[in-house]
Structure 1
Amino acid sequence: MSSHPDLDLPNDLAAFIGNHFIYTYANGWRYEWYARNATTCDYRIHQGLVGGRWVTNQTMNLVQLAPGMYKADWHEPTGTCVSLYFDIERRLVHGTIFFPQWIAGENQHPEKTICYQNDFVEDMKRFRDDGPAYPYVVIAEFAKITFMEQRGIDNDDVINAAPGQLPDGYLDRTN
């Protein structure tokens, strides 16, 4: 967790941790994300450049920016960096993904990342190291939260299978 000694910022993560989200970016990419606890997240990518990819227990940095507003950042073994801003009240996400060239550049190979990353971490690191990494491809988009539900902390049943067709009732509802 990061903080600034001269700022009086809230950092009450209790209302956010344990939430499970499905959101769709303006470009059509659909993601599913779970705040497993204060330091890790799980996610599945249903549609988009790396649709079919899923990860559990991804280390992240999570902060509260204001009531109902949170930011999660992480760096993946692929070399990809992700920053997500969640505005719960307005049901929106702003995501910035920093893809290395080998995934999203001119000679891209996003298919190498489409797997359950946890089983292939050493491969992801090797692909990252083989590169190329620079210049990063930066994709920044707004997304609409179409599903939001509290599932509790460290729930292994939330993101527990490869991405696929979302079950009925997972769109346009909150619990």
Structure 2
Amino acid sequence: MPVIPSIQATPFNTDIRDRHLLYDYDARNANGEPEKWRYEMWFYNEDRIVYAIHGGPMAGRKNFQTATYQCIRPGELWQCNWLEETGTICSLVYDIPRKRITTLLGFSKGHWEDNEAAHGDKRNPDDLARWRGLAGIGRQVDRTLLSEQADIVEDFRGPGDLEPIDMSWPTL
């Protein structure tokens, strides 16, 4: 999947390519005490990331993935998204001037409930096979990541051509 917008239209090489970050999440352990969860991310190239997790329940995980990148504001904000073998969806926003990472992780049921099994190194065939098994736990395992941007061509209020819904109808 391509960098959006294209590499030619953004400073991808200056902002992201080959950049390596270590970052800490402020978290709490099982007893509610503060602790740091250290993560390490290497934006390898325009369609790959390499990372390691050094703290928290996912500590001990080493992985690399195909990723999509979106330039939100050149020189300032970038988004990186990927799907893991465990079925987990990951989305990371890197705020360059503020030196801050913001993430959204959609863990698969298998990965979250059996996080010890998610530890290891993707380069180890046994670890990779075990991770793929985690994706089979639960229902939402067949996923495709798609990163897109759109231009607003109309801005108005109300349903337009869409039919209103009844709030009592069940949703997932």
Name the TM tier (shorter chain): 0.5 to 0.7
Match of 2:158 in 1: none
State the distance in 2 between where 1:97 and 1:29 align. Answer: 15
Q: Residue 132 of structure 1 is aligned with which of 128, 132, 138? A: 138
Whole-Å Cα distance in 1 between the matches of residues 3 and 21 of structure 2?
Answer: 24
Change (3 A) 1:66 1:22: same
Counterpart-to-counterpart distance in 1, 2:10 and 2:90: 20
What is residue 117 of structure 1 aligned with on the other side? Answer: 122
Tell whether the 8 Å contact from 1:80 to 1:98 is kept in structure 2 after alignment: yes
State TM-score, norm by structure 1: 0.65
Q: CA deviation at 1:2?
A: 6.2
Aligned length: 126
State the superposition RMSD in angstroms.
Answer: 2.1
Q: Which residue of 1 aligns with 2:12?
A: 13
Work out which of the residue numbers 65, 74, 79 in structure 2 matches 1:71.
Answer: 79
Offset, 1:55: 1.0
Which aligned segments of 4 or more residues in structure 1 are displaced greater than 4 angstroms?
none
Identity %: 23
Write the distance in 1 (CA, Å) between the matches of 2:20 and 2:138.
Answer: 34
Q: Is the CA contact 1:77–1:124 (under 8 Å) kept in the aligned structure 2?
A: yes
Structure 1: stretches of 5+ with no match in the other structure = 5-9, 135-175
Answer 1 or 2: higher relative contact order, Cα 8 Å, separation at least 6.
1
Structure 2: 5+ residue runs without aligned partners? 28-35, 141-172
Deviation at 1:14, TM superposition (A): 0.9
Q: Which residue identity lines up with residue 11 of structure 2 in the other structure? A: D
Query: Is the Cα–Cα contact under 8 Å of residues 121 and 128 in structure 2 kept in the other structure?
Result: no
